[in-house]
Amino acid sequence: HANYERFLLVILTLFAFAIRTYKIGNDSRVVWDETHFGRFASNYINRRFYLDVHPPLGKLLITLVFWLSGYSGSFDFASGEHYPASVPYVQVRCFQAAVGSLLAPSTFYLCRTLGFPLGAAWVAAILVVVDNALIGISRIIVLDPMLLLANSLLVIAFSRVLSASSGRPASVLLRFVWLGILAAVVCR
């Protein structure tokens, strides 16, 4: 039964990824906040200092995907401007879509961890897969999918720490360590 459940979750996650990547490269213009996060990536790649009040983890992950895709940091990311061939925006958008797709299984596990019935967990996961706002935000280069996934994982970890057996202090300590790491990630 558990293997069948995992299999269905994998299928649901792949379906979520397919929805989020469908024609993802059709709009070759800089959209909305891609202006900011593209510029942050260019600054990191070119090792230019800039002042940002937010912690850098999400922007560093976006930069890593740009860098691994061969981006040189030479594009200005002006809003509405078309991406040149030298900017691997489709690869970075696909990374965002993959992160957004992981919201489906994390929602399922969150519901199960909180004690929801199996049917309710499936409904919640399916709703996350087809939610238009989550699909849209997972198709562009922004921090929201990463933040939502990290928050979901944090709540799962927190609820598991609270339900941990008091007879195993090492297990509880390890869970608090993971909780701390996830809390740091959520703070981006």
Cβ neighbours of residue 12 closer than 8 Å, sequence gap 6 or more: 104, 105, 108, 125, 126, 129
124 pLDDT higher than 60: yes
Question: Would you say 90 and 64 are in contact if contact means Cβ atoms under 8 Å apart?
Answer: no
The residue written with tokens 């195993």 in the block is 168
Residue 164's pLDDT band, with cuts at 50, 70 and 90, is low
Q: What is the pLDDT of residue 155?
A: 85
- Residue 53: the pLDDT is 75
Q: Which H or E element spans position 66?
A: helix 57-68
Q: What are the pLDDT digits (tens) for 9-42?
A: 999 999 999 999 999 999 999 998 999 999 999 9
Q: DSSP code of 81?
A: P
Q: Which residue in the block uniquely carries the two structure tokens 């509880």?
A: 172
Q: Mind listing the pLDDT tens digit for each residue in 79-91?
A: 999 999 999 999 9
Amino acid type, 59: K
Give the DSSP H/E element, type plus range, for residue 36: helix 34-45
